[in-house]
Structure 1
Amino acid sequence: MVTFCIVFSKRLDSTLHNVYRGGVNYGTIADNLPPTTDAITLYTTNGIGKMKIFYPNQATLQALKGSNIEVIVGAVNNDLQGLATSPTTTNTWVQTNIIPYLDVKISYIAAGHEIKPTIQNLNNAITASNLQIKVSTVIDMSLLGNSYPPSAGSFSDSASSYINAIISILVSINAPLLANVYPYIAYTSDPTNIKLEYALFTSPGIVVQDGNLGYQNLFDAILDCLYSALEKIGGANLTVIVTKSGWPSDGDSGVVATIDNAGTYYKNLISHVNNGTPKKPGPLETYLFAMFDEDQKGPVKTEKHFNLFSPTKEPKYQLTFT
């Protein structure tokens, strides 16, 4: 799907002096959220400078006007077939959902199903309108076939025709790849072989040695696996933006999805991503999931508990956005 992202600068506590150059997802699958204008104010007052939204919600875009928040915008799945098959439909979509909001800092448009023609048509429409907005798509790590060690990362055979076409077009239009990276999912799928400390950035030393690169956390290992897979299909120079990463505070047996674990993950992720990964050092644009709990999400219970703020705008963790 096409998505909007908002990027922000954030600091967790008085001991954290580097600035988090990332964002927070703004999901709205809930019936108890604060008004949109209040949500945008919460971003602004907390120094959150980037956002990701999942469809071009007119009220959200209107509230973002003049906010100076950078946004990634997505298209709903029902629109994607038309965007993929009809340049006229694509132009209309841009004229309806983008052009009226030129005073909103839209940084990316992300497409999902039927990706290659959708990206091409959207990019053509954006270029024709003389807009400086990149068009991309969001992937998750299920497309990887080989994932250990990170240098052996590769896409699965079943994903090859899909991902090869996407990477080819992203390279041709000089656009980044958007990726969702969830150490929580990787850890809970194999808790016997993956230590919780490795997933939470709290391992005291190197856990995985891969040639001359050492890995002390699972987030870096997953992302470098993706970088290795991209190298194998002509995407070595692609920039990757992490558009979703988070840890639930409730919803499973209570052993892993806890407030303490989630707070630890978010705090450590924020301080870590400025350094990049062993394979790709340097600041890594990353978006936390998510601003608010969404009580109508499911069916997995943890999906309701990825929030940084309550619907009453109270912070769940001691995180400072500056």
Structure 2
Amino acid sequence: MEPYYCVVLLLGVLSFADAQIGVCYGRLGNNLPPPKDVVALYKENKFTRMRIYDPNPEVLQALGGSNIELLLDLPCVDLEKVASSPAEATKWVKTNIESHKDVKFRYIAIGNEVKPTDAFAKSLVPAMENIQKALDACGLGKQVKVTTSIETGALGASYPPSQGAFSPAYLKAYLEDAIKFLVKNGSPLLVNVYPYFSYSLNKNVIKLDYALFTAKGVVVQDGPLGYENLFDAILDALYSALEKCGGKDVEIVVSETGWPSEGGTETTLENEKTYYTNLVAHIKKGTPKKPGKPIETYIFAMFNENQKSPEYEKFWGLFLPNKKPKFDLKCK
């Protein structure tokens, strides 16, 4: 492991509050601080948006009155139950949303990276519909947007970005109906976007600087649009895919992105630092297809999580479990 840089807060350099940035709060670690301390750390660093992966009562209680906007997942294990029963959807909303009136809910993600082969895939859109109806019934239907979070593996074609198209298997399983739901309700599509995985699986064709936002000029020319980084290319491939199936007005929110510091291909602290620094500076600018439109983005993750596997999955955090930042963006 490389030595950690001097410990300072990230706020002054990253300017998170101005950059449409949120941070995912994963909890797969046995050495993480309690939720009240985590919320205090978010506030201390001006992290104004959070994603959590289940409606944990202790986390929701800690968020009360914090003014942090929340992306809350309805876990995949609950999809079939919520899809099959409007009463269960109403109960879920009353327990996890309506009873926490001092929490600023922004999105509810119904399922995360559901695959066409998953037994519960057919329940995803009915669950979205039931949760939407439950929110409407308690007057929160316009305030809290219902959506789902997909992986970029849902793309059947991604190169060049203008040829982006969703896999027929994903469309048939749930994505076609999910996009219709998003269009009807004015909700964004959440996508977990990881240039790290694209690079590590295709090192023979993708250069590291293209994945880290450090390429000197255009790497991929796609008609009139030039791409200097892989993040933009993936996003615009997704926008092209949406256009091809009736979702041209659907916005994309990047619900996860990051770079690990250990355990895998080019997983150094310096590369993690480079990725996050350049990401935060870049997302204010939009993509070649959507220039000037800031990209709402959630960094994965807040902490290193020691109970994840394989090994590289343990090292995505901005912070160590002792609440110290892993790197400083001003000095070495």
Same fold? TM cut 0.5: yes
Residues 157, 11 of structure 1: alpha-carbon distance in 2 compared, 3 angstrom cutoff: same
Say if 2:72 and 2:105, in contact at 8 Å, map to a contact too.
Answer: yes
Aligned twin of 1:287: 298
1:43 equivalent in alignment to 2:42: yes
- Take 2:248 and 2:212, find their aligned partners in 1: how far apart are those partners? 28
Q: How many residues align?
A: 307
Structure 1's unaligned 5+ residue stretches are 1-9
Name the SS for the 1:73 alignment partner.
strand
Match runs of 1:126-275 below 5 Å: 126-131=135-140, 132-161=143-172, 162-252=174-264, 256-275=266-285
Q: Which runs of 5+ in 2 are unaligned?
A: 1-9, 112-120
After superposition, the C-alpha distances for 1:285-314 in whole angstroms (9 at most, x for unaligned) are: 00000000110011x211110000011110
Q: What is the rounded CA distance, in whole Å, between the counterparts of 2:305 and 2:17 in structure 1?
A: 30
Give the ranges of 4+ consecutive aligned residues of structure 1 lying more than 4 Å apart after TM superposition: none
Establish whether residue 13 from structure 1 lines up as the match of residue 13 from structure 2: yes
2:177 is paired with a residue of what secondary structure?
helix
- Secondary structure at the aligned position of 1:237 is classed as coil
Separation of aligned partners in 1, 2:247 and 2:72: 23
Deviations 1:2-49 (A, max 9, x none): xxxxxxxx85628x7992221000010110001111110000000000
1:103-114 matches, within 5 Å, as 103-112=102-111, 113=121, 114=123
CA distance in 2, matches of 1:168, 1:59: 35
Deviation of 1:119 after TM superposition, in Å, equals 0.6
How much does 1:77 deviate? 2.4
Q: Distance in 1 between matches of 2:61 and 2:317?
A: 23
| Paired letter, 1:195 | K
* 1:115 equivalent in structure 2: 124
Measured in 1, the distance between the counterparts of 2:290 and 2:208 equals 24
- Secondary structure in 2 aligned to 1:274? coil
Hey, what's the Cα distance between the residues in 2 that align with 1:39 and 1:212? 45
Q: How big is each residue's C-alpha offset from its partner over 1:183-224, in whole Å with a ceiling of 9 and x where there is no partner?
A: 000001110110000000000110000000000000000000
Q: Deviations over 1:207-253 (max 9, x none)?
A: 0000000000000000000000000000000011001000000012x
- Is 1:308 the equivalent of 2:318? yes
Alignment partner, residue 96 of structure 2: 97
Distance 1:265 1:65 in 2: 32
CA distance in 2, matches of 1:189, 1:180: 16
Larger CA deviation: 124-133 vs 108-117: 108-117
Q: Distance in 2 between matches of 1:99 and 1:240?
A: 26
Structure-1 separation of matches of 2:274 and 2:313 = 18
Structure 2 match to 1:4: none
Q: Where do residues 74-89 of structure 1 align in structure 2 (5 Å cutoff)?
A: 74-89=73-88
Take 1:251 and 1:18, find their aligned partners in 2: how far apart are those partners?
Answer: 30
Q: Determine if contact 1:143/1:156 at 8 Å carries over to the other structure.
A: yes
Q: Does the 8 Å contact 2:261/2:267 carry over to 1?
A: yes
Contact 1:11 1:20 in 2 (8 A): no
What is the alpha-carbon distance in structure 2 between the residues aligned to residue 86 and residue 219 of structure 1? Answer: 39
Determine the C-alpha separation between the residues in 1 that align with 2:170 and 2:16. Answer: 41
Closer, same or farther: CA 37–17 of 1 in aligned 2, 3 Å: closer
Taking only the aligned residue pairs, the percentage that are identical comes to: 49
Partner SS for 2:283: helix
What amino acid sits opposite 1:142 in the alignment? G
**Secondary structure of the residue that 1:13 maps to in structure 2?**
helix
Question: Relative to structure 1, is the Cα distance of residues 122 and 154 closer, same or farther in structure 2, using a 3 angstrom cutoff?
Answer: same
1:163 Cα deviation from its structure 2 partner? 1.3
1:7 aligned residue? none
Paired with 1:158 and 1:76, the residues of 2 have a C-alpha distance of 22
